[in-house]
Structure 1
Amino acid sequence: MKKPFYLLILVLAMTSVNCYAQQEMALKRKVAIGRFSNETQYAKSIFYDKENDPMGKQASDILSTRLAASDKFLLIERQDYDKIVNELNTSGGISQNIGADFLIIGSITEYGRKTIGTQKVFSNSKEQIVEAGVSLRLVDVSTGIIIYSGEAKGEATAEDRQVMGLGKTADYDATLSDKAISAAISKLVENIINTCMDKPWKAYILAEQDGSYIISGGQSQGINEGDVFSVVQKGKMVKNPQTGLNIELPGKVVASIKIDATMGTMPQDEISMASLTDGQVDLSALDQYYIVEKK
């Protein structure tokens, strides 16, 4: 009589595992972390090198760590960022050969350090305070349009206190800069993640060879053998007279493809081989198509 109950528990457990696996297999977006500039006057001397600003690099590393920890993105290296910026400046859009979905541009807009001391009859205290302001912009590289912009401030403190000459003393704490910048970035990361994940996942047809279609992306992005995707033909580009910007009209699903194999050793060189299961694709205009999750 107890067997049906145990079977029910087993079915529920397997369902939970399957749901968890589906969540883990979510398709990852490709993000290029671009220029992170220091717009403040802090640490700028006559020998200041804008291309090797330590605070900018520090902020970029913190942002990269935060995004990587979410396990929702593939991060593009900085050398690829230079190619992306060049294409955005010349064509207003991104080449599917690079395959980045989003570009993040950041700047440190505020930075200050101060020390506050309190002197009493039998005790004294000293508090070091660092405040930092950060601005982040998220660009959809397929259109060159900023889809999110935000600013935030962070603060970090260190305090020492002495009573009757006894107690700890604190020297100059350089780690407060890291903590203040990290606190500011942390306030914006969730919005960056949500904005990216709200946008539909895309991949591109790079080429056709002997009846097989070569697709950008592979296992690191969440693409697996046997997956089926929709092929969308891009919509017409029209100019919005109010903003002066070109807008791509919604595309149309024209075909379906099935992943036959994935290959590549790194996210940057991964590709997938796919076959057409239904519909038609114009082989002379592969750049007019993109791949989306099948609904």
Structure 2
Amino acid sequence: MKKLQQFLVSGMTTAALALVAGCATESSRALPVTKVESAGVAYAGVRYPVAVGKFDNRSSYMRGIFSDGVDRLGGQAKTILITHMQQTNRFNVLDRDNMEEIKQEAAIKSTAQRLKGADYVVTGDVTEFGRKDVGDQQLFGLLGRGKSQIAYAKVALNIVNISTSEVVYSTQGAGEFELSNREVVGFGGTASYDSTLNGKVLDLAMREAVNNMVRALDSGAWKGNSEKDFLIWQNLRTPVAELFDDETDDLRRRRVCRQAQADP
């Protein structure tokens, strides 16, 4: 009898485990990625070669006495900036972080490198970054309670002329992300720490700064430090039909500048 009971208990345990295992599900889905405003807008002007310089975390976030000294936030911000700038269709963004790897691959392929120089360097900083948790409760928590995780970021961008080191344009972008959960009379969910908010709010702030940059570019706000720079920026919308396929970017810019000088 005792052996029969052990057998039944063992069988029920096995069945229960099988039932639980059978309830496990796996799902996946692709998520839309938000791009800058000009990403889907047709543009027929000249793309200017730019390089992205230093991008540091100047906020107090992750810079305490226990920090390991690795600027992960600044590196993340630089990657986001490069992506958004390339998606604007206004710039040819030049990679300066993987020069050794690019050189090695060119050597393997026996291809002579023809590196392009930048007209401008984009530098910037994460000037503000932080997180906070905000909570509230109804009737000392008996009727319900809520919790919000809030992340805030602010970035600054500077456009520097490589010939004169003059900062020809500056802009900032800021953003805030909030994750809220509420529990009412014992019902509802509570959210644990969401580390993805850091990347989301940084992407939002950077996207806003790049949008500001493109708006200023399209309106002619970038005048540089010389008449040539001013004329070039004013003629970025030269129709594609007026551009020749065999021209280099430098020759194309020079021709556009000469056309602008000749026009009354």
SS in 1 for 2:254: strand
Give the TM-score of the pair, scaled to structure 2. Answer: 0.59
Q: Which residue of 2 aligns with 1:188?
A: 209
Contact kept? 1:29, 1:196, Cα under 8 Å: no
Report how far residue 153 of structure 1 moved. Answer: 2.4
Report how far residue 67 of structure 1 moved. Answer: 1.4
SS in 2 for 1:167: coil
Report how far residue 108 of structure 1 moved. Answer: 0.9
Determine the C-alpha separation between the residues in 1 that align with 2:221 and 2:175: 28
For the pair shown, which has the larger CA radius of gyration, 1 or 2?
2
| 1:27 paired to 2:43 | no
Determine the C-alpha separation between the residues in 2 that align with 1:180 and 1:72: 24
Give the TM-score of the pair, scaled to structure 1. Answer: 0.53
Deviations 1:20-56 (CA, angstroms, capped at 9, x unpaired): xxx644221111111110012322354533xx41101
Q: Which has the higher contact order (CA 8 A, sep 6+)?
A: 2
| 1:127 paired to 2:145 | no
**Which residue of the other structure, out of 48, 68, 72, is the alignment partner of 1:48?**
68
Q: Which residue of 1 aligns with 2:27?
A: none
More strand by share: 1
Deviations 1:42-84 (CA, angstroms, capped at 9, x unpaired): 22354533xx411011111221222122122111112489xxx
SS in 2 for 1:154: strand
More helix by share: 2
Contact kept? 2:43, 2:89, Cα under 8 Å: no
Q: Which residue of 1 aligns with 2:34?
A: none
Q: Which residue of 1 aligns with 2:240?
A: none
Which runs of 5 or more residues in structure 2 are unaligned? Answer: 1-41, 100-114, 230-242, 260-264
Which runs of 5 or more residues in structure 1 are unaligned? Answer: 1-22, 82-96, 201-246, 252-257, 263-270, 275-289
Contact kept? 1:117, 1:127, Cα under 8 Å: yes
Determine the C-alpha separation between the residues in 1 that align with 2:244 and 2:136: 68
| 1:99 paired to 2:117 | yes
SS in 2 for 1:112: strand
Deviations 1:93-133 (CA, angstroms, capped at 9, x unpaired): xxxx7421221111011111110111113211100011112
Q: Which residue of 2 aligns with 1:118?
A: 136
Letter in 2 for 1:27: V
Quickly say closer, same or farther: Cα 1:158–1:249, change in 2 above 3 A: closer
Q: Which residue of 2 aligns with 1:229?
A: none
Aligned-residue sequence identity (percent) comes to: 30
Equivalences, count: 183
Determine the C-alpha separation between the residues in 1 that align with 2:168 and 2:61: 30
Quickly say closer, same or farther: Cα 1:259–1:127, change in 2 above 3 A: closer
Contact kept? 2:57, 2:125, Cα under 8 Å: yes
**Which residue of the other structure, out of 21, 26, 36, is the alignment partner of 2:55?**
36
Give the CA RMSD over aligned residues: 3.3
Contact kept? 1:125, 1:160, Cα under 8 Å: yes
Q: Which residue of 2 aligns with 1:69?
A: 87
Q: Which residue of 2 aligns with 1:172?
A: 193
Report how far residue 174 of structure 1 moved. Answer: 0.9
Deviations 1:214-240 (CA, angstroms, capped at 9, x unpaired): xxxxxxxxxxxxxxxxxxxxxxxxxxx
Letter in 2 for 1:165: G
Quickly say closer, same or farther: Cα 1:24–1:148, change in 2 above 3 A: closer
Contact kept? 1:131, 1:154, Cα under 8 Å: yes
